[in-house]
């Protein structure tokens, strides 16, 4: 898989959108390592939740857009725009939708789901304050720059608040043969998440892991059991 | 927003909404971008698509002469219809317009080709 060009994104965009980093590249590496599986799956609908710069879904689109519709959601309008422009820069097509998680999509449609969640452990109070009270307009659609970036990383207790919400919705998002690649930090307690997924009738394995300065990252690969 | 994407969008997340589908589409500005016809892609995607929303999209862009109201049998053998579906689903890009929830009338704007389906806290 080719690593997408990002030279069209400048420090101006990165004031509002999470800049690709080691976690982004781990998710790309996991997809690349699992290409045989993905080829056999023959996905028709791919979705990245919280696509940010759009690098990951663009890489997937480059590889699969001849046979799959590639969609990206983000709550941040700058991220929606950046995702589209990253796809354009790389001569492929990704459709941006501004919404929360996969809430605007018909149920059980997604064959390949990707999520690099806001995984940093923060206090719930901090998460809530930053998301909802940091700026007076933050409850409305025009989010502040600060909120845009905070929402890309602040994860609340165990860095899991947003991920846990998604897990509860997963049965309604994934197609019957769908696969979900989820990035986690050791502090997110991946084993606990695997147990939880099993109780929700999914199968989850640690597909890839990597130590980076200050963090230990995992990619969970999740399918229906 | 391509009309293939439109086919997957719902307002079901709004509190109290039962189906929220298909959304009522209004187009203020669109562009047509020619893309290579790939019959296999259209054929493979069709089982995932909802024909009622294909037809409602065709009504909005006035292509109902090309697209029948009811999905025909053995559609893959009809090359002409497959090409028309390709055009409808992948070549028409909605740049500006809106989507409306069929049950509540809630409007979701489409700006620069991106539908804004974000809901306020009190709507979910």
| Per-residue pLDDT tens over the stretch A51-62 | 999 999 999 999
A218: pLDDT strictly greater than 50:
yes
Which candidate, B93, B75, B115, B97, places its Cα nearest to that of B35?
B93
Domain presence at residue A133: yes
What would the DSSP string read from start to end of chain A?
A: -PPPP-TT--HHHHTTSPPP-HHHHHHHHHHHHTHHHHHHH--SEEEEES-TT-HHHHHHHHHHTTT-EEEEEES-HHHHHHHHHHHHHTT---EEEESSTTTTB-TT-EEEEEE----B---HHHHHIIIIISSTTTTSSS--HHHHHHHHHB--GGG-HHHHHHHHHHHHHEEEEEEEEEEEEGGG-HHHHHHHHHHTTEEEEEEEEEEETTEEEEEEEEEE-
Domain presence at residue A65: yes
CA distance linking residue B12 with residue A106, whole number of Å = 8
How many domains does chain B contain in total? 1
Nearest to B10 among A67, A77, A106 (CB): A106
Determine the structural domain holding residue A31 and report its residue range.
Answer: 1-35+51-99
Same structural domain, A158 and A122:
yes
> Which SS3 state, helix, strand or coil, does residue B81 take?
helix
Instruction: Report the CATH number at residue A89.
Output: 3.40.50.150
Tell me the shortest Cα–Cα distance from A188 to chain B, in angstroms: 26
Confidence band (pLDDT; 50, 70, 90) for A137?
Answer: very low
Same structural domain, A8 and A79:
yes
Domain presence at residue B123: no
CA distance linking residue B8 with residue B22, whole number of Å = 9
Confidence band (pLDDT; 50, 70, 90) for A140?
Answer: very low
A103/B44 Cβ within 8 A = no
Nearest to B48 among A45, A100, A139 (CB): A45
Domain presence at residue B40: yes
Q: Touching check for B39 and chain A: CB below 8 Å?
A: no
How many domains does chain A contain in total? 2
Segment A69-95 mean pLDDT: 96
Domain presence at residue B122: no
Nearest to B114 among A75, A97, A100 (CB): A97
pLDDT of A129 reads: 62
For residue A166, CA distances in Å to A39, A49, A158, A161, A193 come to 26, 10, 15, 9, 12
Confidence band (pLDDT; 50, 70, 90) for A136?
Answer: very low
Q: What is the ipTM of this complex?
A: 0.96
Confidence band (pLDDT; 50, 70, 90) for A65?
Answer: confident
Confidence band (pLDDT; 50, 70, 90) for A152?
Answer: confident
pTM: 0.93
Q: Touching check for B46 and chain A: CB below 8 Å?
A: no
CB count, 10 Å around CB of A209? 15
Bridge partner residues of A98 (DSSP): A74, B116
Domain presence at residue B15: no
Q: Touching check for B118 and chain A: CB below 8 Å?
A: yes
Segment B13-34 mean pLDDT: 97
Same structural domain, A11 and A80:
yes
Q: List chain B residues with CB under 8 Å of A100.
A: 13, 118-119
Q: List chain A residues with CB under 8 Å of B115.
A: 97-98, 104
Domain presence at residue A205: no
> Which SS3 state, helix, strand or coil, does residue B86 take?
helix
Same structural domain, A142 and A126:
yes
Confidence band (pLDDT; 50, 70, 90) for A146?
Answer: low
Confidence band (pLDDT; 50, 70, 90) for A144?
Answer: low
Q: Best residue in A79, A100, A106, A178 to probe B by mutation, most B CBs within 10 Å?
A: A106
Tens of pLDDT along A160-212?
Answer: 989 999 999 999 999 999 999 999 999 999 999 999 999 999 999 999 999 99
- In sequence order, which residues have a C-beta less than 8 Å from that of residue A98 and are 6 or more positions away? A73, A74, A75, A76, A77, A80, B114, B115, B116, B117, B118
Determine the structural domain holding residue B77 and report its residue range.
Answer: 3-8+20-115
Same structural domain, A85 and A105:
no
Domain presence at residue B73: yes
| Closest residue of chain A to B1, computed from CA coordinates | A95
- Reported residue count of chain A is 225
A133: pLDDT strictly greater than 90:
no
Tens of pLDDT along B67-83?
Answer: 999 999 989 899 999 99
* Vertex A109 angle, CA A103 and A113, to 5°: 75
Segment B100-119 mean pLDDT: 98
Bridge partner residues of B117 (DSSP): none
Domain presence at residue B32: yes
A134: pLDDT strictly greater than 60:
no
A109/B44 Cβ within 8 A = no
Q: List chain A residues with CB under 8 Å of B12.
A: 106-107
Task: Check if the beta carbon of residue A190 is closer than 8 Å to that of residue A205.
Answer: no
Instruction: Report the CATH number at residue B53.
Output: 2.20.25.10
């Amino acid at each position: 898989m080719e690593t997408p060009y990002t030279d069209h994104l400048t420090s101006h965009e990165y004031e509002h959108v999470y800049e690709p980093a080691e976690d982004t590249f781990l998710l790309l590496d996991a997809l690349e390592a699992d290409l045989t599986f993905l080829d056999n799956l023959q996905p028709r609908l791919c979705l990245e939740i919280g696509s940010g710069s759009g690098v990951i879904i663009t890489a997937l689109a480059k590889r699969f857009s001849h046979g799959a519709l590639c969609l990206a959601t983000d709550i941040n309008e700058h991220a929606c725009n950046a995702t589209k422009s990253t796809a354009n820069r790389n001569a492929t097509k990704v459709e941006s939708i501004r919404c929360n998680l996969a809430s605007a999509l018909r149920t059980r449609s997604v064959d390949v789901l990707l999520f690099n969640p806001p995984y940093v452990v923060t206090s719930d109070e901090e998460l809530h304050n930053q998301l909802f009270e940091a700026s007076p307009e933050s409850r409305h659609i025009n989010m502040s720059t600060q909120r845009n970036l905070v929402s890309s990383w602040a994860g609340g207790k165990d860095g899991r608040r947003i991920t846990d919400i998604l897990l509860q919705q997963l049965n309604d998002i994934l197609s019957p043969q769908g696969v979900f690649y989820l990035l986690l930090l050791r502090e997110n307690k991946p084993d606990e998440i695997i147990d939880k997924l099993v109780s929700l009738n999914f199968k989850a394995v640690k597909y890839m892991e990597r130590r980076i300065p200050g963090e230990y990252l995992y990619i969970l690969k999740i399918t229906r059991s | 927003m391509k009309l293939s994407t439109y086919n997957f969008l719902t307002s079901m997340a709004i509190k109290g909404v039962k189906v929220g589908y298909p959304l009522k589409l209004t187009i203020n500005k669109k562009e047509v971008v020619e893309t290579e016809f790939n019959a296999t892609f259209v054929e493979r995607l069709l089982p995932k698509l909802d024909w009622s929303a294909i037809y409602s999209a065709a009504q909005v862009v006035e292509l109902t002469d090309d697209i029948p109201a009811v999905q025909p049998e053995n559609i893959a053998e009809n090359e002409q219809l497959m090409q028309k579906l390709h055009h409808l689903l992948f070549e028409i890009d909605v740049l500006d317009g809106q989507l409306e929830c069929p049950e509540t009338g809630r409007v979701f704007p489409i700006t620069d080709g991106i539908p804004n389906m974000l809901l306020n806290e009190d709507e979910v």
